[in-house]
Structure 1
């Protein structure tokens, strides 16, 4: 990359190579990060497998949710109630002359249950089955009280959990994957002394910015691809209602994720700059990894706790998970995503400034691990 920087075309009339401007330098570093990652077979294979898994999970899950079993019922002449079974969804009616014929069909497995006359029952009929009566048949022939729902548009618990799991898992996988890539790249450059060559050509802040930009673009691209696979899967299975409900939450998730990942990427780079050996990377980035894991576990275990999810939607490290979930559940006012986004942007700016100082002061220090105090207070040109 150094030779690339030095061979930038000179201005018209110039005889020698020109120094690239800030934007060009940042893009050269970002391009180097992207190319190195895209050329990795492990990255390409893992990304491909992830996309296939997401697509398969959505399609299979949608197919199973739409799959409905059919209950076959033998019916003797039991009055008007028997005629109603013909209109019950997923119930197939088979007429029989008497109870003996019905029991024979139950015993040989031809039917799941039977409805016969019973003068001693207030309803005038009863259900007979082998070891258990089909729930849908019992429900269809039961006398149910009238029901009034105070919150008819509430999201079912199962859908709520799946949405929470989806947002949490997507954030967790992408942030840890590309955050770890940044950390390993920083330590590798320190360990091989390549960073000394790079810093002779470009400032540390440019190197840091390029790494963040390159990996952020990769993470953004992966999130978009995963989202596209989910959309394709829901379209194939005909889950148009769910797809429509996820439209706005997914858009907000992408916005929050992009900014939130920049914040985390800066922390991963700063933490990794404190050490000079690959063996020490995991321990030094562990606190940052915890910041990524906490939102994931919170949204899994407390997705039905409105207070916890609300707090998560305003905390910078978990806003990318909490706020889209609240938007999906229609629990966030129109101004809340904007306020949360403003807090996230302000926090990201502060974190980048602090991380840049740590990165600049610790990058050229090899050997023993640099303490956080030293990195914050040591001044380097």
Structure 2
């Protein structure tokens, strides 16, 4: 820089420090111009909304159960079972089909003409007949109906009302937190978080690694290195792909919440939306570390075929997080929610089912941020030392031993 004015030197340094924005913008533009990327994103959004709508329609559809009955009170029992099911908001409708005798009931059930059969039993009561396996809804409501009908007649015979007979036995359900998420829905949310993490990490991470190794294999990186610091090149690639991953993930989560609201799950939407927001924040911080490691995987390789080897440790880490998000429960999931990277899935899942206190995500996110900073620093050093090496595939230890 001999002969240059100090002001020109300062402007040159400032310019080189901001060149990462150009790299990031290029990464974003190239991806947005990729028809496969755009189409796959749109298809995924449509699939998310459609699957939730279909699930809502299927779950809200009334299940019609044919019950073949015999005896003078068979039809009355089935009618009362319908009333009990309606009072419990159960999506089930029983249709009584009277026949002459018990033998006909057994025949129709055995031939799978109906799902259940109801016949009088001696010395009293009823027998509910099924073929192969019982229908739990039929067992629940028809049994309750038969018991209530018997109590009503016994009460009349004793000269008391059914209300008097049942005095002191009423149980009134009280829900303390109406916004609490159904356990089954919370499990589904945890699975969605795990798979979204996996898809975004692999899709954008592999894109970074392939971009790095292609530039290295085609010797383009030598031209880029003469025009900008390698640190700026890394920052641009990581920043551009992180923005894309964040935007796509937010789009998927938004589509899922919209689909959930459309299915009538609005009462549970608040907590799920909060957990989804935390998931996006955790992913944003954690992906900075993952993106840096994917760039390292590309810099250690000298050709595309080497990526299978250099990216194996990172692929295994992502699979571990995926399986942890799916299978971990109890204390194991609590521990995982504080371990950086695995906490991307574990902590939002705990927030979804209400097992995490309000302060826990802040502590977990702070640990993630510290770990991300350390990973990025080490990854940047390996990236700069290995990117210009074209003699053959390197290991991380070999890259760290190289002179800058």
2:63 alignment partner, SS class: coil
Q: Separation in 2 of the partners of 1:362 and 1:130?
A: 68
Structure 2: segments with no counterpart, 5+ residues: 1-7, 86-91, 148-168
Q: Which moved more, 1:224-233 or 1:204-213?
A: 224-233
Provide closer, same or farther for how the CA distance between residues 350 and 110 of structure 1 changes in structure 2, counting only shifts above 3 A: closer
1:91 partner SS: strand
Counterpart check, 1:228 vs 2:224: no
Q: Is the 8 A contact 2:66 2:97 kept in 1?
A: no
Which runs of 5 or more residues in structure 1 are unaligned? 1-13
Which residue is 1:84 aligned to? 80
The alignment partner of 2:23 has SS state of helix
The separation in 1 between residues aligned to 2:310 and 2:285, in whole angstroms, is 23
SS in 1 for 2:390: coil
Residues 365 and 86 (structure 1 numbering): CA distance in 2 closer, same or farther, change over 3 Å?
closer
2:48 aligns with 54
2:346 to 310, 322, 347: 322
* Cα drift, residue 48 of structure 1: 2.6
Question: Does 1:120 pair with 2:123?
Answer: yes
Tell me which moved more, 244-253 or 77-86.
Answer: 77-86
Q: How far apart are 1:32 and its partner, in Å?
A: 0.8
Please give the alpha-carbon distance, in whole angstroms, between the structure 1 residues aligned to 2:200 and 2:83. 49
Distance of 2:279 and 2:186 partners within structure 1: 16
- What is the alpha-carbon distance in structure 2 between the residues aligned to residue 133 and residue 286 of structure 1? 49
Instruction: Please give the TM-score of this superposition, normalised by the length of structure 2.
Output: 0.78
In structure 1, the residue matched to 2:224 is 198
Alignment of 1:340 with 2:364, yes or no, is: yes
Paired residue for 1:281?
A: 307
* Secondary structure, aligned partner of 2:339: coil
Q: Take 2:112 and 2:324, find their aligned partners in 1: how far apart are those partners?
A: 47
- SS of residue matched to 1:141: helix
Does structure 2 retain, via aligned residues, the 8 Å contact 1:33–1:214? yes
CA distance in 2, matches of 1:315, 1:73: 54
Out of 292, 310, 313, the residue aligned to residue 337 of structure 2 is 313
Tell me, yes or no, if the aligned pair for 1:74 and 1:113 is still in contact at 8 Å: yes
Q: How far is the alpha carbon of 1:94 from its aligned partner?
A: 4.3
CA distance in 2, matches of 1:358, 1:95: 76
Contact 1:165 1:299 in 2 (8 A): yes
* TM-score for both structures, normalised by structure 1: 0.83
CA 1:130 to 1:170, structure 2 compared with 1: closer, same or farther past 3 Å?
Answer: closer
Residues matched between the structures, number? 361
Q: Which residue of 1 aligns with 2:142?
A: 141
Distance change (3 Å), C-alpha of 1:332 and 1:300: same
Deviates more, 1:94-103 or 1:262-271: 94-103
Q: Is the Cα–Cα contact under 8 Å of residues 106 and 129 in structure 2 kept in the other structure?
A: no
* Structure 1 Cα separation of the partners of residues 205 and 240 of structure 2: 11
Contact in 2 for aligned 1:96/1:102 (Cα 8 Å): no
